[in-house]
Amino acid sequence: MHIWKVICVGDLHLGRMPGGLSYVGNQISVDVALTKLVDEAIEREVHAVCFSGDILDRTNAYFEAAGQFERAVRQLRQQGIEVICVSGNHDWNTLPSLRRIFSDARLLGGPGEWGSFTLPRPDESSLQFVGYCFPADECQTISFSSFPQVKAKASIGLLHCDVGQMNSRYGGVELSYLTGHHLSAWSLGHIHKRTLLHEDGPFIFYSGSLQPLHINERGVHGAELLEISAEGKLLRHLQLPLATIYFDECRIDLSGEALTREEVLADIREALFTRLESLGIDDFEYVGIRVILKTDEQSYSAVESFCRDFDYADSFIVGRSTVYLESLVAECEMDVSEPGDYERLLTETVALLSGTEFAEGENAERGVTLVDQAQELLQEKLGQHFFQAFSDDVERKQDIRRVLVEAGVSLHARIVRSRRGSNVA
């Protein structure tokens, strides 16, 4: 019995470095993970490698990134491996314009169009790919009216979309649209976390980003191997852990302690060793981690200063992994027994944004408004390119919300410090 073997890849974003770790260097670049992907495909003797959009990032190192992808395509095609792809919201216009450079890769359709390609075999069994190219950098709906006719028993759909989010600006699609087309599998792009949506019938999944690009993209990243029978039945799927870096978060409680800077650093190192050993991630060459230092109002200002002045270029070894700090964040729970008007406003703002008290109704809407206003101000001051470090709008707003909370806590801590003093040497 013939078995089709295909590796499915989600978002690459070639040209972008993992956020917060640009100082580390090219050893954690997406291109390194892409090289591992090519080697894995050749070793496993797969029939095709398919990409579900956002292959190229729309910001940095455009020509360098295009060259990296062209090299990978050439290496795969030299081994007889087909390369199938569609565009996403980041490369909707650049990928089709580079068809000449990527002539060995098969781009399904053009902007806003469905396309199809069939991989035949001498025994007349075949594997059909259908896919849709993103029409613009934003697209609220994807039309299935021109969906190609599927003739092969074994078939895979490629789509860059936001399943179940019909108000999304990035291709909102109902899951029923996908299950209604009787394919063997749907390989989706846009969501950077590996997510299995449907396993009974068509196997529908996000393989996630090949290399994590932000501290929020935690866990194992890589690609998905599919094995499909000539009759179109999914026989096996397997995550291939190809990323060279693992992101995580560690919380350390420093509340109520009078600590020197050396003691804080020692606590951080001890907590990181414990955390990373518990994860059992020796297979990863690099680890990026965000450390959150929980403290009280009296110590907050000094801990915040420690975080701000920390030398992030330092790294240390845990097992076989080199560990880099993505950031140090001071976190404070405020305790205001009888606040004045200004303190009440600060407390309410922080609680509102952090969702601890004001999470419903009118107050929730006020929180959204504050975040939107902050985003507009940051965009005006820093430029649109600042926001391309985030993979999507949700991730962007989460980080803006976090910054506002930290700013509110910091301001409140300074007020308290003016009356009490500091606890950290």
Give the residue carrying structure tokens 């506002």.
404
Q: Tens digit of pLDDT for each residue in 188-229?
A: 999 999 999 999 889 999 999 999 988 889 889 999 999 999
Of 265, 349, 334, whose CA–CA distance to 303 is shortest? 265
Name which of 305, 317, 318, 231 is nearest 264 in CA terms.
305
Token pair recorded at residue 385? 């390119």
CB contact at 8 A, 52 and 160: yes
**Helices 297-309 + 261-279 axis angle, to 10:** 80
294 and 251 Cβ atoms separated by less than 8 Å? yes
User: What DSSP element (H or E) covers 270?
Assistant: helix 261-279
- The Cα–Cα gap between 414 and 298 comes to 9
pLDDT in tens, 360-380: 445 555 556 666 666 665 555
Q: What phi and psi, each to the nearest 5 degrees, are found at residue 340?
A: -80, -175
pLDDT in tens, 265-285: 888 888 888 888 787 766 678
DSSP state at residue 168: -
Report the pLDDT value the prediction gives residue 391, as an integer from 0 to 100.
45
Pick 26 or 413 by higher pLDDT: 26
Alpha helices for 54-158 (secondary structure H): 62-78, 94-97
Contact 200, 183 (CB under 8 A): no
Between residues 184 and 421, the one the model is more confident about: 184
DSSP-assigned beta bridge partners for residue 118: 128
Tokens 């495909």 identify what position?
A: 41
User: Residue 424 — pLDDT band, cuts 50, 70, 90?
Assistant: very low
Cα–chain-centroid distance for residue 43? 27
pLDDT of residue 311: 76
Q: How far apart are CA 73 and CA 311, in angstroms?
A: 39
- Check pLDDT > 70 for residue 351: no
Q: Is the pLDDT of residue 61 over 50?
A: no
Strand 223-229 and strand 106-107: pairing? unpaired
- Give residue for tokens 């330092």: 314
- What is the C-alpha to C-alpha distance for residues 62 and 111, in angstroms, rounded to an integer? 19
The pLDDT tens digits for 378-397 are: 555 444 444 444 445 555 66
> What whole-number percentage of the chain has pLDDT above 70?
74
What is the per-residue pLDDT for 410?
61
Structure tokens at 336: 């205001």
Distance CA(141)–CA(169), nearest Å, equals 8
Distance CA 48, CA 97 (A): 23
Distance separating alpha carbons of residues 316 and 322, to the nearest angstrom:
6
Boundaries of every domain in the chain: 3-240, 244-333, 339-425
Which run of H or of E encompasses 414? Answer: helix 393-420
User: Is the confidence at residue 238, as pLDDT, over 80?
Assistant: yes
CA dist 204 and 164 (Å) reads 13
DSSP 18-46: PTT-TTT-GGGSHHHHHHHHHHHHHHHT-
What backbone phi and psi angles, to 5 degrees, belong to 287?
A: -130, 130
Q: Identify any residues that bridge with 203 across adjacent strands, giving them in sequence order.
A: 185
SS3 222: coil
CATH number belonging to domain 3-240: 3.60.21.10
- pLDDT tens-digit series, residues 318-350: 777 788 888 888 887 655 444 454 455 555 555
122 versus 46: the higher-pLDDT residue is 46
Residue type, 131: G
Residues 291, 303 contacting (CB under 8 angstroms): no
144-181: per-residue pLDDT in tens? 989 999 999 999 999 999 998 888 889 999 999 999 98
